[in-house]
């Protein structure tokens, strides 16, 4: 292996045997042997599940590589084999340098040991002497920030405290390769940001980073390259931005380009096209409520009342729906919410917030609700949730009906525009140069 290569993976495969019934394990252990003795072709009593199949790639020293893919695509299996905690059935892995890994929450920790004892045990496994651990111990404790719990058994720790200590050890043993498998999702927001800053520092210092995350924005920001795994196979490997775009196309049904739009549904009134991306028309919505109303005819429209699901930057659009009442309801509140792919609310409002008229309704009443908005969202895929909740419940908010993720929409940026985050604030920049008089 070349000296500038940190990790080299060739034709890596891992297969598991899946048994439909516990007795099939015993059958597989005994019957094929008897069948061969009887001159018969041995029968297989299991199904094969290929967690990884024929995966090959090289990662150079100092590169930051993200690994993305759906749950069950083989990401964790790949990392475990790179770290040596799992053996492949075929293929080879070569690594160059000390590897520190955060694979599973608290993996490698003995719950009966104190935090201090686990620090020394983990660091020694990674190749540090007691003198080296002594020199780093205070930095580890300071980064973990778990106070006096460092002297308590790990079994008394919360999940957040465990990951704090595990991460603090991993980054302070001076690894040449750092492997992280979604472990940071457990920590609080402040600790997550602290970890990301430290990861960026390690990356800039030349540490090779393998980073598994479902957050493609983080992968694009942090990583040079990305690997996209799909059903155990390597679907794509290349620029982090391009690979993440390919992943989002598969995951969210995003259009592969403006030329893919359903042009039969695209008409123009003035300069405003009514764009419907057919690949965004399917959603996996969840509906719940107490049954006193039904939400119908949810629509996303442009100023000309044409249905759309692709919004250009700064475009005015409307979200509307019809509500049918089956029982008497006192002063209900009608609302909407836009979320990102992680389910985080990007924007939400309702008729109470907007001081709209409130009244009581009786069975067979109908209400048409429309929210008029301007698209200041950053480029990406968003999800619409509509809901009606009661305003007369003494125990708190009760949904009469809520339709979560009922529509998908895509926000576009201006041509050539780069937006970081989920909102477009249309910045204007001023600067003044004060030249030296010397």
Digits of tens for pLDDT over the chain (438 positions)?
Answer: 667 899 999 999 999 999 999 998 999 999 989 988 989 999 999 899 999 999 999 999 989 999 999 888 899 899 889 988 889 999 999 998 888 877 765 567 888 999 999 999 988 887 888 999 999 999 999 988 888 999 999 999 988 888 888 888 888 888 889 888 776 655 565 677 677 778 878 888 888 999 888 777 778 877 889 999 999 999 999 988 888 888 877 775 543 333 334 434 444 434 455 678 877 776 678 898 999 999 999 999 999 999 999 998 889 999 999 999 999 998 899 999 998 876 778 899 998 877 777 889 999 999 999 999 999 998 888 889 999 998 665 556 789 999 988 998 988 876 555 566 677 766 676 656 677 676
CATH number at residue 205: 3.40.50.300
Q: Is 438 among the domain residues?
A: no
| pLDDT at residue 241 in the model | 82
- Say if residue 112 is in the same domain as residue 151: yes
Structure tokens at 104: 């599973």
Helices 115-125/159-171 angle, 10° precision: 40
CA contacts within 13 A on the Cβ side of 30: 5
Predicted local confidence at residue 381, as pLDDT: 84
Q: Are residues 245 and 268 in the same domain?
A: no
How far is 222 from 239, CA to CA, in rounded Å?
A: 12
* Domain end residue (candidates: 186, 221, 251): 251
Per-residue burial over 370-398, b = 16 or more CB atoms within 10 Å of its CB, e = otherwise: ebebebbbbebbbbbbbbbbbeeeeeeee
Same domain? For 243 and 322 the reply is no
- The answer to whether residues 274 and 231 belong to one domain is no
Per-residue three-class SS string for the chain:
CCCCEEEEEEEEEEEEEECCCHHHHHHHHHHHHHHHHCCCCCCCCCEEEEEEEEEEEEEECCCEEEEECCCCCCHHHHHHHHHCCCCCCEEEEEECCCEEEECCCCCCCCCCCEHHHHHHHHHHHCCCCHHHHHHHHHHHHHHHCCHHHHHCEHHHCCHHHHHHHHHHHHHCCCCCEEEEECHHHHCCHHHHHHHHHHHHHHHHCCCEEEEECCCHHHHHHHCCEEEEEECCEEEEEEEHHHHHHHHHHHHHCCCCCHHHCCHHHCCEECCEECCCCHHHCCCCCEEECCCCEEEEEEEEEECCCCECCEECCCCEEEEEEEEEECCCECCCEEEEEEECCCCCEEEEEECCCCCCCCCCECCCCEEEEEEEEECCECCEEEEEEEEEECCCCCCCCCEEEEEEEEEEEEECCCCCCCCCCCECCCCCCCCCCCCCCC
Q: Are strands 333-339 and 380-389 parallel, antiparallel or unpaired?
A: antiparallel
Q: Is residue 126 part of a domain?
A: yes
- Statement to judge: residues 229 and 344 lie in one domain: no
**Cβ distance 90 to 13 under 8 Å?**
yes
Q: Are 219 and 160 contained in the same domain?
A: yes
pLDDT, position 144: 87
Q: Give the pLDDT confidence score for residue 345 in this predicted structure.
A: 85
- CB-CB contact of 213 with 66 (8 Å): yes
Task: Verify that 136 and 159 share a domain, yes or no.
Answer: yes
- Residue 216 tokens read as 């493609």
Asked whether residue 156 is assigned to any structural domain, the reply reads yes
Does residue 301 share a domain with residue 159? no
Separation of alpha carbons 226 and 241, rounded Å = 8
- CATH number for position 384: 2.70.50.60
Report how far residue 424's alpha carbon sits from residue 70's, in angstroms, rounded to the nearest whole number: 28
Residue 435 included in any domain: no
Q: What is the pTM of this model?
A: 0.59
Q: Identify the pLDDT of residue 268.
A: 41
Residue 70 lies in a domain: yes
Please report the pLDDT score of residue 321 as a whole number: 95
What is the CB neighbour count within 10 angstroms for residue 171? Answer: 22
Residues 293, 244 share a domain: no
- Dmax (CA) for the chain in angstroms is 101
**At which residue do the structure tokens 């909102």 appear?**
423
Cβ atoms within 10 Å, residue 116: 15
Supply the pLDDT for residue 256. Answer: 39
- Cβ atoms of 356 and 368 closer than 8 Å: no
Could you list the residue range(s) of the whole structural domain that residue 407 is in?
A: 263-411
pLDDT, residue 414, reads 64
- Structural domains in the chain (count): 2
In this structure, are 232 and 274 located in the same domain? no
Q: Residue 342 and residue 137: Cα distance in Å, rounded? A: 36
* Buried b / exposed e along 53-83 (16+ C-beta atoms within 10 A): bebeebbebbbbbbbbbeeebbbbbbbbbbb
Q: Domain for residue 422, yes or no?
A: no
Co-location of 129 and 183 in the same domain? yes
């Amino acid at each position: 292996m070349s000296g500038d290569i940190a990790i080299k993976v060739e034709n890596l495969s891992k297969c598991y045997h899946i048994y439909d019934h516990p007795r099939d394990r015993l059958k597989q252990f005994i019957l094929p042997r008897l069948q061969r003795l009887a001159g018969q072709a041995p029968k297989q009593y299991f199904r094969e599940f290929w967690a990884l199949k024929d995966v090959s790639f090289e990662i150079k020293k100092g590169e930051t590589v993200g690994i993305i893919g759906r749950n069950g695509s083989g990401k964790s299996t790949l990392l475990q084999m790179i770290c040596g905690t799992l053996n492949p059935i075929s293929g080879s892995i070569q690594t160059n340098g000390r590897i520190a890994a955060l694979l599973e929450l608290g993996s490698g920790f003995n719950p009966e040991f104190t935090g201090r004892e686990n620090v020394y045990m983990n660091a020694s496994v990674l190749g540090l002497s007691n003198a080296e651990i002594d020199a780093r111990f205070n930095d580890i404790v300071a980064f973990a920030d778990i106070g006096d719990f460092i002297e308590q058994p790990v079994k008394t720790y919360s999940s957040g405290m465990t990951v704090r200590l595990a991460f603090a050890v991993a980054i302070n043993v001076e690894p040449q390769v750092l492997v992280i498998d979604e472990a940071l999702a457990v920590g609080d927001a402040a600790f997550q940001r602290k970890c990301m800053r430290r990861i960026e520092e390690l990356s800039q210092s030349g540490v090779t980073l393998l980073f598994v995350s479902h957050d493609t924005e983080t992968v694009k920001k942090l990583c040079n390259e990305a690997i996209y795994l799909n059903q155990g196979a390597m679907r794509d490997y290349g620029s982090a931005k391009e690979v993440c775009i390919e992943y989002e196309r598969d995951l969210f049904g995003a259009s592969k380009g403006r030329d893919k739009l359903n042009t039969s549904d695209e008409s123009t009134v003035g300069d405003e096209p009514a764009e419907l991306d057919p690949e965004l028309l399917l959603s996996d919505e969840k509906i719940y409520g107490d049954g006193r109303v039904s939400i119908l005819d949810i629509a996303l429209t442009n100023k000309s009342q044409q249905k759309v699901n692709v919004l250009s930057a700064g475009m005015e659009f409307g979200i509307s729906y019809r509500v049918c009442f089956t029982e008497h309801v006192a002063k209900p509140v009608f609302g909407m919410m836009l979320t990102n792919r992680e389910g985080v609310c990007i924007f939400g409002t309702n008729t109470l917030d907007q001081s709209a008229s409130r009244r009581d309704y009786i069975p067979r009443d109908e209400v048409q609700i429309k929210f008029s908005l301007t698209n200041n969202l950053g480029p990406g895929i968003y999800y619409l949730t509509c809901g009606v909740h009661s305003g007369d419940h003494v125990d708190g908010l009760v949904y009469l009906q809520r339709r979560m993720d009922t529509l998908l929409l895509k926000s576009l940026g201006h041509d050539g525009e780069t937006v970081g985050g989920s909102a477009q604030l249309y910045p204007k920049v001023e600067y003044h140069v004060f030249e030296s008089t010397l």
